[in-house]
Structures are given as structure tokens and as C-alpha cells.
Amino acid sequence: MTNTNTTITSPAAAGPSDETTISPFALLASLIVHRRLVVIALAIGTLGGGALGLLRFGTYTSAGTFLPSSPRSASGGLSGLAAQFGVALPAGDAPSIPTQVYADLLKSRDLLGHLLETRFSDPDSPEVKRSLVDLLEVKGGTPERRRDQGIRLLQRRVAASNNARTGVVSFSVTVRNPKLAHAIASRLLELVSTFNLEKRQSRASAERRFTAQRLADVQRDLRKTEEDLQGFLRRNRGGSTSPDLAFERGRLERAVTLQQQVYTSLAQSLEQAKIEEVRDTPVITLIEAPEVPVRRDPSGITLLSAVGAAVGLVTGILLVLAAEARNRARSTGSSDYLELRARWFEWREGRRSAGSPKSQSSA
């Protein structure tokens, strides 16, 4: 009999614990009843996320596109001379650099390192110029570490791509200040143009050195051939009409003529290479120049607003669950709830007694 009573009493003891458990339908009903609380929490979270995006994560993007130009070749004279003998040599422009090189160059450590050292006008004080590493507020214990951190930051802030079909290179710079974004994008164009110009001048310098050396060799061969013809004419002053002598004279004259043509062509190519070496004309065709952005990038604000809305919704549901659990515990007289309430009142009374004037005077 005792065992039977124990078996019946055990589920009854678990009853209050089961009553404090909220079923899905009861939760849905509670959410409907306290929908205003959920909506308020959702609105606060959304507005808070959007405000955080505006204050801390608002960015501006300045973009541009350009078309790299191929450096002119200084071998036009050699191509014309070779064509006279039935040999086809490439003429016109030299082989162009793949446009992917420029997309990679825009994010290279060397170019971004030069960009960090560039001094820009401070957006807050336009009359003051500061280095980009200072304007971006890059942290680091040493200058080397600051430079490395700054390059890593710029590699995330600079985007570049190329169109293999058209050869157009597109790039963009994203920072928190619109004027600074425009200044950085313009400076990137200058650095790329400088690289392209130095590359072209380096190629022209190599062509100049090669052409000068080749011209010296041809001049030496020409002088030797002319001396051979001069010696032949001195030995045969009698004007003999011997077929052998006539053939030899024609061969020497043709050799001299050929050497003279090669010498003339190389001399022209050398002068062209000298001009190309010092030419400073732009070799970047600007398609779309970077401009000062007038609108803030929406991506960060939208993302943070969505995150804030999710946090607000979860917070509202948790508040409803807490309120419902408290009401159920209060109605069932849960011992845990009563003990928690008693501890709360004891703590509050202790705070009041500690801050009362009597306690302070007695102390």
C-alpha cells in the first residue's frame, strides 16, 4: 500500500515543474499578447544597428577605369631594312603588358607602401598634410609594423579587376572620408602611370644601349669594307676590263652599299631610342576619372541594421519568455521563485540600510 501511494505522489510532485514549462502554443499566445514589447525591441535593435553603421562603419568609395598603352618600339628602321631583304620583323608597338599585371600592381606591397608614404590633406584641417598611415590611424609598435599593418589595410580597401577582352582596368578605393577616397584613387593612378612610364623608359634605354653597340660594330665593319674597296681600286688603277676584276669590284661595292644602309638605319633607330628614353608623355589612357563620392556606401549600414533587427527580435522573445516564466512561477508558488524573491528583498534592504544616514553616522 505504501509503494502504491509513493507511485501516485511522485507525478504530483513533478506537477509544478511541468506547469512552469511553456509549450509552443503558449509561447505564441504570449508573443501575441506582448507583441508591443517585441516590436519595440525589434525597432530599437534595427535603429541601433543602423546608427552604429553610420557612426563607425560608414564608408565612401571612389572608383576609376583606365586603359594601359603599349610603349612605342624603336625598331621601325630595322623592320623597314629587313623588309627590303624579304625578312618580316614586328613593327609598330612593342608587345603590351597583360592588363592583369596592372590589377595586381594596384594591390602590390611596393605600390601600396609608396601610397602610405604619400602626404594628403587632413580632412579635418585641409591646410595640414599628413601621411596616409597617420590619416588611417594605423596602429603598431614600430614603424615597420605600422607599415605592414597599413599595407594589409589598404589591400582590403583597394579593389582592382581587369577585362581581358577590352583590356580595361577598373579599381576602387573605400575609406571613411569621401575626399580622402578621391585623393587616394587619384594618387594610385599617378603611381601606376609612373610605373608604366619607367617601364617604357627602361625598355627604350635597353634598346638604346643595344642599338649603340650594334651601330659601333656596323661602323667598324663598314670601315673595313671601305678600306678593302679602296685598296682594290689602288691596286687596279690601270682600269683593266678583266671579268674577274670587274666581278670583284662589284662585290666590294655591294658590300659597302649594304653596310651603309645598315649603318644609316641603325643611326636612325639610335636617335629614336634616345627620344623614347627621355619622353615623359602619359602612357595611361584615362577612361573614367575618380570622383569625390557624394553618397555613403549602403552595404555596412544595411548589414548592421539587419544584425540589430535580429538581436532586437531575439531580445524581445527572451523578455516575453522571462515575463511568462515569472508569472507562471508566481501563480504556482514555486519555491525557487519565492527564494529568489526573498534574496532580492534582502539584498535591496541591505543596500538601503548601508546608504541610510544612521548607518553612516554610526560608522
How far is residue 222 from each of residues 179, 215, 258, measured CA to CA in Å? 63, 10, 9
Contact 160, 174 (CB under 8 A): no
Q: What is the pLDDT of residue 94?
A: 45
pLDDT over 90 (residue 159):
yes
Do 82 and 28 reside in the same domain of the chain? no
Most confident of 44-58, 140-154, 277-291, 313-327: 140-154
Q: Which of 269, 288, 307 represents a domain boundary (last residue)?
A: 288
Q: Is the pLDDT of residue 275 over 90?
A: no
Q: What is the mean pLDDT of residues 258-283?
A: 79
Check pLDDT > 60 for residue 344. Answer: yes
DSSP per position, 54-111 = HHHS--EEEEEEEEEPPPBPS-HHHHHHHHHTT-----SBPPPPPHHHHHHHTT-HHH
The reply to whether 353 falls in a domain is no
Residue 250 and residue 339 in one domain: no
50 and 135 inside one domain: no
> Does 287 have pLDDT greater than 60?
yes
27 lies in the same domain as 137:
no
Looking at residue 50, its pLDDT comes to 75
In a domain, 293, yes or no: no
pLDDT of residue 290: 92
Q: What is the mean pLDDT of residues 259-288?
A: 80
Is 11 part of a structural domain of the chain? no
Question: Is residue 67 classed exposed, middle or buried when 0-12, 13-18 and 19+ CB atoms within 10 A define those classes?
Answer: middle
Separation in Å, CA 174 to CA 55, 58, 110, 184:
16, 10, 19, 9
Domain assignment present for 361: no
- Residue 3 has a pLDDT of 47
Radius of gyration of the chain (CA): 43
Q: Do 30 and 135 reside in the same domain of the chain?
A: no
Would you say residue 15 lies in a domain? no
Q: 306 and 184, same structural domain?
A: no
Q: What is the per-residue pLDDT for 91?
A: 44
Range of the domain at 70: 60-288
Q: Is residue 67 part of a domain?
A: yes
> Per the domain annotation, does 235 fall within a domain?
yes
Q: How many structural domains is the chain composed of?
A: 2
Instruction: Please state, rounded to an integer, the average pLDDT across all residues of the chain.
Output: 76
Tell me, yes or no, whether 219 and 129 share the same domain: yes
The reply to whether 69 and 203 lie within a common domain is yes
CB atoms under 10 Å from CB of 115, counted, come to: 23
| Residue in this structure with the C-alpha cell 501575441, named with its chain if needed | 32
- Do 240 and 96 share a structural domain? yes
Last residue of a domain, one of 288, 307, 332: 288
**Which of residues 221, 256, 288 is at a domain's end?**
288
Are 258 and 156 in the same domain?
yes
34 with 77, same domain: the answer is no
- Name 310's Cβ contacts closer than 8 Å, sequence gap at least 6: 45
The least confident of 58-72, 82-96, 162-176 is 82-96
**Mean pLDDT value across residues 284-306:** 81
157 in the same domain as 85: yes
Q: What is the pLDDT of residues 111-137, one digit of tens each?
A: 999 999 999 988 888 888 999 999 888
How confident is the model at residue 78, as a pLDDT?
A: 47
Q: What CATH number is associated with residue 183?
A: 3.30.1890
Q: Tell me whether residue 264 is in a domain.
A: yes
